[in-house]
Structure 1
C-alpha cells in the first residue's frame, strides 16, 4: 500500500540535520509497518496530480494555521474534499487534523486557553493514551459526521474519525521526546510560556505511546478501522 505524505510545514533548520523534515518522520513511522511512501511538500506547492495517485494520504503538522492566507491552503482543502468524496483514506496530524476538519466544514481557532506542549494524556474510549503535543490552535467545531474518539479537559476534539474515510489527531505520534526538547529550545522560547516549556523538557524521559498509536494509524489505512 502506498501512502502519500502531504508535508504542510518544515521542521526548524536547527533540528533538521539530527531529525530530518516532517515528511521523513512519517516515512520512518509508516515504512516500519510495511507501507511504501512518497512525500509531497504541499507547503511549497508540490501537489500530487490527483487523489488516486496513492492508496491513502497523511497530512503532517505545520507552524502555519489552517486559517492562514497562504496559497497552498485552499488547494489542500480542495484536495481533502476530493479524497473524501472518493473515499481514499486520510490521516491528519496536528495541522493535518485541523485542516481536514476545516475543509469539511469545521472550525479552527487559536485557543484562548493557550498552549499544550510536551507529554500529554488523552482519554480514548476509556483508554489513556499519552502523546507529545505542540499546539495552540484547536478544532473548536467539528464537521457533520465527525465523531470524537479522543479528548482531554484542554482539548475537547483531540482525535476525530470520519466513518472509514479519515482519522485525525491533534497531538504528534511522530514526535520523539528528543525532538520535543529541541523544539522547546529552538522554537518555543519567547512564544510558549517558559513554565510549559520547562515542564515539557522535564518530562522527556517519561514514556509515550508513539508505537502503539502508529500501529493504530497503520490499522486505519489497512482495515479502515481504529
Structure 2
C-alpha cells in the first residue's frame, strides 16, 4: 500500500542529518506495516496530480499556521476535500490535524492558553494515553461531521474522526524523545516559556503510546 506524504514543514536543519526530516519520521513510525511512501513537499508548491496517486494520504506537522497566507494553503485545502470525496484514507498530524479541520469548515486559532510541549496525556475513547506534543495553535470550532475521539482539558479537540476515511491527531506520535529534545534546544528558546521547556526536558525518557497510535494509524489506512 502506497502512502502519499504531504509535507508541510521541515525539521530544524540541526536535526535532519541525525534524525531525519518530517517525512522520514513517519517512515520510522509506520515501519513494519508493509507501506511504501512517496513525499510531495506541498510547502514548495509540489502537489500530486490527483488523489489517485496514492492509496492513502498523510499530512505532516509544520511550523506554519493553517490560517496564514501562504500560496500552498488553498490548494492543499482543495486537495483535502478531493481526497475525502474520493474516499481515500487521510490522516493529519498537528498542522495536518488543523488544516483538515479548516478545509472542512472548522476554525483554527493561536491558543490564548499557550503551548503544549513534550509528553502530554490524553483521554482516547475512555483510555489514558500519552504522546509528545509541540503546538500552540488549536482547532477552536469543529467542522460539521467531526467526531472527537481524544481530548484533554488543554486541547478538547485533540483527536478527530470524520466518518470512516479521515482521522487527525493534534499530538506528534512521530516525535520521539530525541526529536523533542532537539526541538527544546533549537526551536523552543525565546518562543516557548522557559519553565515549559524545563518541564518537557524533565519528562524525557518516560513511556509514551506512540507505538499504539502507529498501529491505529496503520489499521486506519488498511481499513
- Secondary structure of 1:206's partner? coil
Distance 1:195 1:32 in 2: 38
Cα deviations by residue, 1:121-150 (Å, 9 ceiling, x for unpaired): 000011111000000000011110000000
Partner of 2:116: 116
Distance 2:168 2:26 in 1: 14
Cα deviations by residue, 1:6-64 (Å, 9 ceiling, x for unpaired): 01000001111111100111122223211111111111111111111101100000000
Partner of 1:8: 8
Q: Map 1:90-105 onto structure 2 (within 5 A).
A: 90-105=90-105
Structure 1 portions without partners, runs of 5+: none
- Secondary structure of 1:160's partner? strand
Partner of 1:49: 49
Partner of 1:208: 208
How many residue pairs were aligned? Answer: 223
Partner of 1:74: 74
1:187 maps onto 2:187 in alignment:
yes
Q: Does the CA-based 8 Å contact 1:40-1:47 persist in structure 2? A: yes
Partner of 1:162: 162
Runs of 4 or more, structure 1, over 6 Å off, are none
Partner of 2:145: 145
CA shift, 1:86, in A, is 0.9
Distance 2:31 2:105 in 1: 32
TM-score normalised over the length of structure 2: 0.99
- Secondary structure of 1:109's partner? strand
Distance 2:147 2:20 in 1: 33
1:89 maps onto 2:89 in alignment:
yes
TM-score normalised over the length of structure 1: 0.97
- Secondary structure of 1:71's partner? coil
Distance 2:210 2:30 in 1: 12
Distance 1:204 1:31 in 2: 23
Cα deviations by residue, 1:100-130 (Å, 9 ceiling, x for unpaired): 0000000000001000000000000111110
Distance 1:32 1:108 in 2: 34
Distance 2:151 2:65 in 1: 21
Partner of 1:59: 59
Distance 2:178 2:204 in 1: 7
Partner of 1:38: 38
CA RMSD of aligned residues (A): 0.7
Q: Does the CA-based 8 Å contact 1:8-1:62 persist in structure 2? A: yes
